[in-house]
């Protein structure tokens, strides 16, 4: 594909946007109940449909959904979330590396007292440095540990013959003992998995020794705070070779996203991951700052993916009113784009990465309403943006894999297949 003109492309994701009918909303979905004049404008002048990130009914995480939406088959390329986490905190991954997400936690003996070490806010850089000094090399395997925000961190293992088929060390609840890392049953006799598990188990012990009497923790205990005296790995994965976005599509790409894992994917795909002050990832996020960031990024990039996290939060909380407020924010952001971009030269697609219905409080495999609007788009007769409306859209059902093909077609940058 080649960028033969100056037309630009946007994918705008409301995280967890789609829903199911809610009794307290009179059987409407939050999208249908909330006034969304700007989204409705896109629908009335655009092409709607229902998007399945992978395939109809398939439940996905934000990470696998975004991979699919960008045209990378998660069944082929997704080998656990650890690598995205590691990329997200700025670690440089090489194919074959094994990576984990970690929490700084508080233990007494083997018992986990606080999985998040009181949501420790400062000093984790010093703690990570102490762990790396003590446990940077175990049995010839390089162990690189890096702090992220609050109690979060990532661990990367690099060495010969590692295998990611191992268990988690984080027990996922408090007052439980943390286990040693073990090979998964299917890899019980695999030398790589046995070796990896042994290195992780040793690393956890050495990390504890580096952290238990660390001045940062001495001070925390003196202040009555739980010490961050261990780091517990979970969410293992192995780094795979992903073709950079710009090679795959022949266009330059940027991401403005609020989910760390998706930021990690952007880094992985060698996209420019842009920080927008005010994008908090919470209900209080500054959606206009995000929209301004998109407008600015389009001046130097052919393609921008933006994600507002807030709708997913209301979905997980089972709070329809909170979700509607988040949807209003998505609509505000779209309003800013409509005012500040010339859609004769820009095509936008607005959708969710999955549904997070308030009645289910987690992701479902329901199709997500989607609309394309702007240059090259042939409108259908849909008038509003919502689940029922989009089901009547001209695109019908399509998958994540189709999205970049549709966008590059509308924007006119796609090479012809055949003569
Ligand atoms: Zn999501
Ligand atoms: Zn979610």
Predicted confidence (pLDDT) per residue in 321-375, tens digit: 999 999 999 999 999 999 999 999 999 999 999 999 999 999 999 999 999 999 9
Tokens representing residue 215 in the block? 């001045």
Least confident of 45-59, 140-154, 178-192, 254-268: 254-268
What is the DSSP annotation of 127-141? HHHHHHHHHSEETTE
Burial class (CB in 10 A: 0-12, 13-18, 19+), 379: middle
Ligand 2 centroid – CA 3 distance (Å): 34
Nearest-angstrom CA–CA distance, 17 and 13: 8
Nearest-angstrom CA–CA distance, 308 and 263: 12
Per-residue pLDDT, 87:
86
Burial class (CB in 10 A: 0-12, 13-18, 19+), 186: exposed
Q: Which ligand is nearest to the CA of 351?
A: 1
Ligand 2 centroid – CA 2 distance (Å): 35
Ligand 2 centroid – CA 368 distance (Å): 14
Least confident of 51-65, 80-94, 386-400: 80-94
Where are the strands (E) in 280-361, listed by range?
303-308, 346-351
Question: Mind spelling out the 3-state secondary structure of 39-53?
Answer: HHHHHHCCEEEEEEC
Q: Which ligand is nearest to the CA of 317?
A: 2
Per-residue pLDDT, 260:
79
Ligand 2 centroid – CA 60 distance (Å): 9
Per-residue pLDDT, 199:
98
Q: What is the mean pLDDT of residues 159-187?
A: 96
Q: Which ligand is nearest to the CA of 316?
A: 2
Share of the chain above pLDDT 70, in %: 99
Q: Which ligand is nearest to the CA of 313?
A: 2
| Residues surrounding ion ligand 1 at CB below 5 Å | 15, 62, 353
Ligand 2 centroid – CA 392 distance (Å): 27
Q: Is the pLDDT of residue 89 over 90?
A: no
Ligand 1 centroid – CA 48 distance (Å): 20
Output the average pLDDT for the chain. 95
Ligand 2 centroid – CA 351 distance (Å): 15
Ligand 2 centroid – CA 79 distance (Å): 19
Torsion angle defined by CA atoms of residues 391, 393, 399 and 403, in that order, rounded to the nearest 10 degrees: -150
Q: Which ligand is nearest to the CA of 258?
A: 1
| Structure confidence at residue 1 as a pLDDT band (50, 70, 90) | very low
Pairing of strands 368-374, 47-52: antiparallel
Q: Is the pLDDT of residue 4 over 60?
A: no
Nearest-angstrom CA–CA distance, 33 and 152: 36
What is the DSSP annotation of 105-132? EEEETTEEEETTGGG--SSHHHHHHHHH
Ligand 1 centroid – CA 61 distance (Å): 6
Nearest-angstrom CA–CA distance, 402 and 176: 45
Alpha carbon distances (Å) from 160 to 96, 163, 263 = 9, 9, 28
Ligand 2 centroid – CA 191 distance (Å): 36
Q: Which ligand is nearest to the CA of 262?
A: 1
What DSSP element (H or E) covers 62? helix 62-69
Model pTM? 0.86
Ligand 1 centroid – CA 54 distance (Å): 14
CATH architecture of structural domain 8-77+242-411: 3-Layer(aba) Sandwich (3.40)
Per-residue pLDDT, 2:
44
Domain boundaries, the chain: 8-77+242-411, 84-237
Ligand 2 centroid – CA 116 distance (Å): 20
Ligand 1 centroid – CA 281 distance (Å): 12
Predicted confidence (pLDDT) per residue in 250-265, tens digit: 999 999 999 878 888 9
Per-residue pLDDT, 5:
66
Ligand 1 centroid – CA 159 distance (Å): 33
Residue with more model confidence, 170 or 90: 170
């Amino acid at each position: 594909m080649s960028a033969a003109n100056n037309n630009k492309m946007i994918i705008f994701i409301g995280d967890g946007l789609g829903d199911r009918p809610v009794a307290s909303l009179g059987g409407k979905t939050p999208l249908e109940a909330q006034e969304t004049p700007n989204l409705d404008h896109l629908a009335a002048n655009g092409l709607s449909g229902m998007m399945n990130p992978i395939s109809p009914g398939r439940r996905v995480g934000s990470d696998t959904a975004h991979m699919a939406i960008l045209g990378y088959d998660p069944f082929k390329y997704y080998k656990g979330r650890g690598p995205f986490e590691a990329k997200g905190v700025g670690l440089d991954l090489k194919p074959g590396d094994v990576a984990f997400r970690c929490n700084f936690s508080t233990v007494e003996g083997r018992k986990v007292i606080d999985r998040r070490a009181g949501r420790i806010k400062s000093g984790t850089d010093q703690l990570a440095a102490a762990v790396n000094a003590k446990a940077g090399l175990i049995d010839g395997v390089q162990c690189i540990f890096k702090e992220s925000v609050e109690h979060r961190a990532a661990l990367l293992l690099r060495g010969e013959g590692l295998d990611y088929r191992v268990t988690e060390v984080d027990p996922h609840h408090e007052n439980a003992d943390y286990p040693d890392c073990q090979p998964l049953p299917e890899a019980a006799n695999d030398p790589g998995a046995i070796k990896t598990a042994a290195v992780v188990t040793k690393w956890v012990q050495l990390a504890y020794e580096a952290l238990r009497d660390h001045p940062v923790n001495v001070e925390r205990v003196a202040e009555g705070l739980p010490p961050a005296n261990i780091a517990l790995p979970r969410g293992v994965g192995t780094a795979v070779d992903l073709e950079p976005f710009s090679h795959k599509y022949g266009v330059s790409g940027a991401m403005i996203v609020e989910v760390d894992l998706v930021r990690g994917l952007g880094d992985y795909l060698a996209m420019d991951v842009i920080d927008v002050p005010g994008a908090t990832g919470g209900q209080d996020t500054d959606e206009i700052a995000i929209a301004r960031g998109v407008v600015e990024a389009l001046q130097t990039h052919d393609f921008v993916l933006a994600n507002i996290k807030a709708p997913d939060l209301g979905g997980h909380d089972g709070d329809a009113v909170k979700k509607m407020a988040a949807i209003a924010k998505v609509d505000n952001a779209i309003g800013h784009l409509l005012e500040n971009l010339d859609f004769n030269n820009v095509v936008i697609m607005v959708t969710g990465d999955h549904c997070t219905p308030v009645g289910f409080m987690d992701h479902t495999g329901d199709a997500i309403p989607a609309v394309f609007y702007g240059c090259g788009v042939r409108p259908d007769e849909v008038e509003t943006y919502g689940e029922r409306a989009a089901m009547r859209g001209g695109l019908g059902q399509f998958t994540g894999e189709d999205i970049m093909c549709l966008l590059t077609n509308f924007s006119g940058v796609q090479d012809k297949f055949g003569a």
